[in-house]
């Protein structure tokens, strides 16, 4: 398979990285993701890396780049599902995921994005679970 699917969840895009990312695939993912952000007007990107045993400097840089591109397009990026061993290796290698926010799993990532940009979820008219988001709306606008 030569493409990583980008899934849409309301105003959030979800990417699950499961294969070894070589250059071409990483570039294609960046391109697909930016196009999808523009097409869908997404305000958040969640990248699940729970399938990765290793995050080397190449992948780390790619995650930072995706986060930077998304930010320019007004979308926040959260990396989720990092394995403990990966976190240890990252620190040992001295790699920092520059400008990348992290969360334990997809649900925490969704919550983080909801808190960061609650307005979109209020508009979406989904279910009524916006209390937390609404409560922190002031916080979020202050932070922006």
- By the criterion CB under 8 A, which residues form the site for a second copy? 1, 3-5, 7-10, 14, 16, 18-20, 48, 50-53, 81, 105-107, 110, 121, 125-127, 140, 143-144
Nearer to a second copy, 84 or 94 (CB): 84
Nearer to a second copy, 70 or 121 (CB): 121
CB of 129 to a second copy, least distance (A): 9
- Determine which helix (DSSP H) or strand (DSSP E) holds 96, and give its type and residue range: none
CB of 127 to a second copy, least distance (A): 6
For the beta carbon of residue 102, count every other beta carbon within 10 angstroms: 18
How far apart CA 12 and CA 20 sit, in angstroms, is: 24
Nearer to a second copy, 41 or 96 (CB): 41
Residues 6+ apart with CB under 8 A from 103: 78, 79, 80, 109, 111, 112
């Amino acid at each position: 398979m030569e493409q990583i699917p980008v899934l849409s969840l309301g105003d959030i895009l979800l990417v699950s990285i499961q294969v070894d990312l070589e250059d071409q695939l990483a570039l294609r993912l960046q391109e697909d993701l930016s196009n999808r952000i523009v097409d869908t007007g997404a305000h958040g990107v969640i990248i699940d890396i729970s399938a990765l045993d290793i995050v080397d400097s190449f992948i780390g840089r790619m995650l930072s780049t995706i986060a930077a591109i998304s930010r320019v397009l007004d979308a926040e990026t959260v990396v989720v599902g990092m394995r403990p061993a990966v976190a240890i290796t990252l620190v040992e290698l001295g790699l920092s995921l520059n400008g990348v926010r992290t969360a334990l799993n997809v649900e925490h990532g969704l919550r983080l994005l909801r808190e960061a940009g609650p307005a979109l979820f209020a508009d979406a008219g989904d279910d009524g679970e916006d209390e937390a988001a609404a409560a922190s709306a002031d916080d979020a606008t202050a932070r922006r």
